[in-house]
Homo-oligomer: A and B are copies of this chain.
Amino acid sequence: MTYCVGIKLNAGLVFLSDSRTNAGVDHISTFRKMIVYERANDRFMVLLTAGNLSISQSVREILQVEQLKDPEGGEPITIWNARSMFDAARVLGQAVRRVYDRDAAALKHAGVEFNISMIFGGQIKGEGMRLFSVYSAGNFIEATPETPYFQIGESKYGKPVLDRVLTPDTPLDEAAKCALVSMDSTMKSNLSVGPPLDLVVYEANRYQTDRLVCIDMSNPYYRMLHSSWGQKLREVFDSLEDPVWDDAHTDTPLKVADSQNKPLKKITRPEEKLI
């Protein structure tokens, strides 16, 4: 499986991906799922892929040379000359459809679903940063201030912390930390997501970045995050009052006289009917 997250903030963009792939638990390998497209002072784009690896790799290969017909009859649009991230995302969508036309039928005969999902974001000079979630059909949606992040792959374990922390005003490094905590929770609960991790942090209007790192389990910052988060989470948990069943002796009884609190009816004899 896979877990990737892309975050769009006012300050910039954050991308994080794991690198474990598995075709069954007995066939686990390491493949990078992040690729960065950069032309200094012109455009910076990051693509994260999840799903069938043969499809992902084909899309990445084709994306290099994919051309979209220009409606105004100008030169074909590629990710390298697109004037907007929207157009670049359309080129990506067409690359996906090209792979679909080439492989989907054969995959279907083999009982394999045409399954790929992508996060594609960045900035092209002349417009602001943009972040897209691209689907198997080549269609896509764009992140908005209300929803500043996208996840692909094993997204559920790591979602609560993102929901609690992220807003468009979140600083870049704090968002990077949040993504790493989200990844840490996912790796703790799901074996199919694993290191090394690829992290890219992009600062708005730079069109390049040097904040690009591959993190393995020996990375001091990740080790600190992993142990501190687990330990402090436990401390917070312990600091919370346990439920008290006798409401005479606490401000926060579990049982209250609230009329809506109807305890379950117990069934004490076979003859008795359900509620």
Q: Which residues of A approach B to under 8 Å, CB–CB?
A: 32, 34-40, 60-61, 64-65, 78-80, 154, 156-157, 159-161, 163-165, 171, 173-174, 176-178, 180-181, 185, 188-190, 196, 198-201, 210-216, 218-225, 228-230, 232-237, 239-245, 251-256, 258, 260-264, 266-270, 273-275
A233 vs chain B, min Cβ distance (A)? 6
Q: Which residues of B contact A236 (CB under 8 A)?
A: 229, 232-233, 235-236
Q: Which residue of B lies closest to A272 (CB)?
A: B64
Q: Which residues of B contact A159 (CB under 8 A)?
A: 157, 189
Tell whether, in the assembled complex, residue B220 and residue A260 are in contact, meaning their CB atoms are under 8 Å apart. no
Q: Which residues of B contact A215 (CB under 8 A)?
A: 254, 261
Q: Which of B228, B230, B254, B262 has a CB less than 8 Å from the CB of A221?
A: B254
Tell whether, in the assembled complex, residue A254 and residue B213 are in contact, meaning their CB atoms are under 8 Å apart. yes
A247 vs chain B, min Cβ distance (A)? 8
Interface centre among A65, A185, A222 (most CB of B within 10 A): A185
